[in-house]
Amino acid sequence: MTCTSPASCIMAAGATALMLVFGSACAQESSENDGTQAPFSYPATLLHARSTYTVSPATPVLLGNTVVVLEQSRLSDVAAIARAPVHEEGSGKNARRWVCVQAQNNSKPVKLWFIASGQDTVTEVQMRPGTFAQNARCGALTDHFEPVFLSHIASGMNIDSVTSDIGPASLRDARGWRFWVSRRTYEYYEESFTEYVWVGALADEKGVISDVFTTQITR
């Protein structure tokens, strides 16, 4: 089972999904008539992953030596680096903008999605092995911006090396997804904020990782 929209997440998980209402934590996977492939869907089991970290298990996304910081780096800057068009879905608070980017990690092709949900800065990044169709209207990274890591994780890595690096997962589901979830509250200029971070990696029976994502929402 996967989440295809925030509404479906809420219906599937009830009160548990309240923390995910803050942003578009569930994405839609589809192929438009022009070949564009939207970001992949998140598993509904993500909603059962309780926060077991008070400090984010996620580090900034690394494009070679270039850092993409969630909720700080602008999607337009990533689009400029990759020479990628910006796709948009929805409007207003439900608007989601994203760019798809082709990259190489250790000579193996990977697909990337940089997503901005309800704001101008990147809130989510996804990685999956493979290549986009020629008419997918995606960008590409040059060698200068490779290799790519999402929170120290990349497609093709072994899950054991990840858990030894960032710690035990908050939850593991039957499909092989591992989720690392953190929640912290802090005050800034006498205002209280809560930061949620979700990191996920899907590993096969041999422990080899395919799909990876990292998401951060602060409210």
In terms of Cβ atoms closer than 10 Å to its own Cβ (0-12, 13-18, 19+), residue 191 is: exposed
> Given a cut of 50, is residue 16 above it in pLDDT?
no
Of residues 71, 79, 22, 80, the one with CA closest to residue 88 = 79
Order of all β-strands in the sheet with 61-63: 66-68, 61-63, 148-149
Overall average pLDDT of the 1-28 stretch: 39
pLDDT for the residue 24: 40
pLDDT single digits (tens) 163-176: 999 999 999 999 99
Report the C-alpha gap between 201 and 188 in whole angstroms. Answer: 32
58 CB-near residues (< 8 Å, 6+ apart): 70, 151, 180, 182, 197, 199, 214, 216
The H or E element that residue 125 is part of is strand 124-129
Q: Which residue has the higher pLDDT, 192 or 76?
A: 76
pTM: 0.85
Alpha helices for the chain (secondary structure H): 6-13, 75-82, 159-166
Overall average pLDDT of the 61-73 stretch: 96
Report the C-alpha gap between 89 and 27 in whole angstroms. Answer: 11
> Given a cut of 50, is residue 87 above it in pLDDT?
yes
> Given a cut of 70, is residue 3 above it in pLDDT?
no
pLDDT single digits (tens) 108-159: 999 999 999 989 999 999 999 999 998 899 999 999 999 999 989 999 999 9
Tracing tokens 């929170």 back to the chain, one arrives at: 151
Overall average pLDDT of the 177-185 stretch: 94
Q: Kindly report the number of other CB atoms within 10 A of residue 109's CB atom.
A: 13
Q: What is the DSSP letter of 85?
A: P
Overall average pLDDT of the 45-55 stretch: 92
pLDDT for the residue 93: 72
pLDDT for the residue 23: 37
Report the C-alpha gap between 74 and 123 in whole angstroms. Answer: 9
Measure the CA dihedral 11/15/20/24, to 10°. Answer: 20
